[in-house]
Each structure stands twice: as structure tokens, then as C-alpha cells.
Amino acid sequence: MIRTYRAELLSVSHDSPDAVRHESDGLLAVEDGIVIARGAYADLADSFPEPEVLPGLVVPGFIDAHVHYPQTDSIASHGEQLLDWLDRHIFPAEKAFVDKAHADDVAPFFLDELLRNGTTSALVFPTVHEQSVDALFEAALSRNMRIISGKVLMDLGPDGLNDTVASGRAGTEALIRRWKRRGRLGYAVTPRFALASSDAQLADAGALLAEHPDVLMHTHLSENLHEIAAVATRFADSADYLDVYDRFGLVTARSVFAHGVHLSDRACRRLHQSGAGVAVCPSSNLFLGSGHFDFGQAQRHALRLGLGTDVGAGTTFSMLRTAGLAYQAALAREDRLDPFRALYLATAGSAALLHIEDRVGALEVGQEADFVVLDSAATSLMARRTVNADLATRLFTLQILGDERAIASTYVMGECAYKRTP
Ligand code: GUN
Ligand code: ZN
């Protein structure tokens, strides 16, 4: 069945953040969830049946490159930087996911919250418990969302939140087997971070990654200065934090590192050489007092970047707001992030980082038709700011003032999955 939509269309190419594609009066044709035509309405109108008119700016569905679903109910936990925040707020909350019924309660709410914010794909941390992944994947399957996740490996975690090298491997392999080629799901080998795993488990994570060529590796890197100092103490003979992962075979083109707020030039060179990339998480970095991502350094080293909310350290599920905070983080280090590049990070950049750029992220012919209808006049202030405004101003306003109120609707494979109530 073919569905056609008439709207203003905007996307940025996977190949280059500078390649902006914009049809002020565009037509999008979707067959069986796949984009089969996109272009100017005037050029395509004759070839397709009468389209549905979408009032707003249509962009590709957002791709959250780093978020923790079990931390949904721990958002806005007061008072500490990373390591104390984990101990005091996060680890106790994650222990509850031993109960599948609890995971089954949180996962659907989490995914609906993504859709309410225009996010259609995500790379997601669950907990150490195998059943936390099942709950997420079951809920993602029923919503037909493109979700990548994998059981957290943390054999040095606190009681009630740890595995062993053997159970970590067994759980990972069982989940890969159970969920392979189902819906739009993908798997990531997920060691929490260097401090939560023994050397033996980090080595086994590297082995799992090598044994499964179609999975990603997802972890945290160089987020917080106290964390980095603890890593340097434990791994005294490593050149830096990235080198710890490298020694265990975890730095590859399929590796996604969250944060990378404090990276040496050596680490950046190695990231570039390996093809690994970074999920930048500005809202989280501000909330936990971790620092500001260095966009200038990343650009000099041509790093592959995506954008993540990192909820529950992140304070919003909105990728619009996260893009606006990325702008502010860049400016804090005297770098400029233009609104089209910020859109790239939230869509095609994250897609490339997650190796799903052939499927989503740019709303090109042949891709899955995941898209969002944005309303740049969602509030009276936004309406005043964008009256007669050019495209860049409307997009920047959406990023600085917008949030879920600016999501008029979200489409998953061409079908409406969320519509804002008037
Ligand atoms: N490093 C290790 N675990 C976590 C986590 O849950 N959140 C963040 N922001 N950093 C981490
Ligand atoms: Zn995180």
C-alpha cells in the first residue's frame, strides 16, 4: 500500500553534515514502510495519488545514540557527580529490574516517551539482568521501533547488580540468539564501563564482539574527572582511558562510546583510526557537572559523532532540547554548532554511528520512513520568534525553545505512532 505525504521536508545526508536537503513544498511517498519517492511536490504530484498534508516541518525520526531505559524513573536525582550518583541513586533503582514485571512496566513507558519526543531509533542501556533486555525488545517489537540494546556486563557491580564472566557471556549469547533478525532490533555487547568489570570480563567482552560481527559495542568513556582518575589508578600501564578498552579488543569500527568529554589527542587519533565513534550527551554532562564536550577537537580529528540524551543523567528525552544544549556546550568552549549540524547529529550522524545509516536517518529513497512533524510555533513565544523567519532560524528556535510540545506527530515506517493532543 502506498501512502503519500505533502509537507516541508528537511534532512542532512549521511555522507556529509554539510549536505542539507530541503523541499519547501515536498512530497514523500511510502510503500510498505519504505520511502519510494521524495522530491518537490510540483515534480511528483502527477505520479502519486492525492497526498495527506502534514502541517509542519518534516525531519527524519530522531536517533538517540545513548540512553538508559531503567533510569527513566530516576531522572532528576539531586546532588552528586557521576560515581556517587551511581551509588546513591542509580544502582538501587536498577536492582529492581531483576523483576520482569517491573521491567515490563518501565519499558513501554520509556518507548512511548521516545515517540512523544520524536525519537524512533535508539541505542539503549538496560540493566545487568537478561530479562530487562527481553522487556525492552518485546515492547520495541510491538511498536516496530529500531532499538539496539544488550545486557549490561558488570561483574564488579554491587550485590544484586552484578554478573560473572560466565553468566555475562551466557546471557549475552542467549539474547543474541533469541532476538536475532526480529523486527528492527539490534544487539550491542554492553560492558557498563571499565570500572564495573574485571579484566577477565573486559577481555571476554572483546571476544564476544569479535565472535559476533553483526553486533555493536556500547560503553562509557572519559565522562568525569573522578572516574578518569580511578581508571588511571586501576589501569596504571594504559596510555589513557580509551587504551584500557583497546587492550581488551573493544575499540573497533562497531564501538560506540558515550561522552568522551575529556579525551587526549592520542585517544582522538585512535578513535579516528579505528572508526569508533562518540555519542555526545550534553544534557547529562551539564547535569552531572562532567564538563563540556570538545567539538573543536572532535572536528580536528574527524571523529564520528552522534547525539544522546543519556537519561537518567540527561534531564530530557527531547533530542531537540539536547541539540540546543549541544549548541550551548560547544559555545562554552568557543565552538559554533550550526542548527543543521545539530540536526545531523540527532539524525544521520547518530544513524552512521549506530551503523543503521542504510536504513534510517536521512529520509532518502530506500530508507525506512521514520519521520517527525515539527511545529516551530508550538508555543506562543516560539510562534513570535519564528514569524517570517528563515529555515535556519526556525530550526534553531526548535532546538533552543522546543521540546515534546513541538512534536506534532511521529511516524514509524510511514504510520502515525504518536499524535500530539490539541
Ligand atoms: N558510567 C557508568 N554507568 C553510567 C551511567 O549509568 N550513566 C552515566 N552517565 N555514566 C555512567
Ligand atoms: Zn550513560
What's this model's pTM, rounded to 2 decimal places? Answer: 0.98
Residues lying with their CB under 5 A of ligand 2, a single-atom ion: 258, 310
Chain segment 197-251, per-residue pLDDT in tens: 999 999 999 999 999 999 999 999 999 999 999 999 999 999 999 999 999 999 9
Closest ligand to C-alpha of residue 309 is 2
Distance 355 CA to ligand 2 centre (A): 19
Q: How confident is the model at residue 388 (pLDDT cuts 50, 70, 90)?
A: very high
For ligand 1, say whether the CB of 94 is within 6 Å of any of its atoms: no
Pocket test for ligand 1, best of 72, 75, 86, 190 (most atoms within 8 A of CB): 86
For ligand 1, say whether the CB of 311 is within 6 Å of any of its atoms: no
Distance 82 CA to ligand 1 centre (A): 7
Chain segment 236-251, per-residue pLDDT in tens: 999 999 999 999 999 9
Distance 270 CA to ligand 1 centre (A): 23
By DSSP bridging, strand 52-60 and strand 371-374 are antiparallel
CA distance 358 to 93: 36
CATH superfamily of the 2-60+362-419 domain = Urease, subunit C, domain 1 (2.30.40.10)
For ligand 1, say whether the CB of 44 is within 6 Å of any of its atoms: no
Across the chain, mean pLDDT equals: 98
> How do the domains of the chain map onto residue ranges?
2-60+362-419, 62-353
Chain segment 109-121, per-residue pLDDT in tens: 999 999 999 999 9
CA 143 distance to own-chain centroid: 17
Distance 259 CA to ligand 2 centre (A): 8
Residues in Cβ contact with 72 at an 8 Å cutoff, skipping those fewer than 6 apart? 106, 109, 110, 113, 311, 312
- Residue 403 corresponds to which amino acid? D
Pocket test for ligand 1, best of 69, 89, 193 (most atoms within 8 A of CB): 193
Indicate if the pLDDT at residue 15 is higher than 90.
no
DSSP assignment string, 259-270: E--S--HHHHHH
Q: What are phi and psi of 101, to 5 degrees?
A: -65, -35
CATH superfamily of the 62-353 domain = Metal-dependent hydrolases (3.20.20.140)
Q: Tell me how far CA of residue 22 lies from CA of 14, 39, 53, 58, in angstroms.
A: 15, 9, 17, 10
421: left (phi over 0), alpha (psi -120 to 50) or beta: beta
Averaged pLDDT, 56-65: 98
Q: How many CB atoms lie within 10 A of CB 227?
A: 23
Chain segment 105-150, per-residue pLDDT in tens: 999 999 999 999 999 999 999 999 999 999 999 999 999 999 999 9
For ligand 1, say whether the CB of 223 is within 6 Å of any of its atoms: yes
3: left (phi over 0), alpha (psi -120 to 50) or beta: beta
Indicate if the pLDDT at residue 68 is higher than 90.
yes
pLDDT, residue 402, reads 98
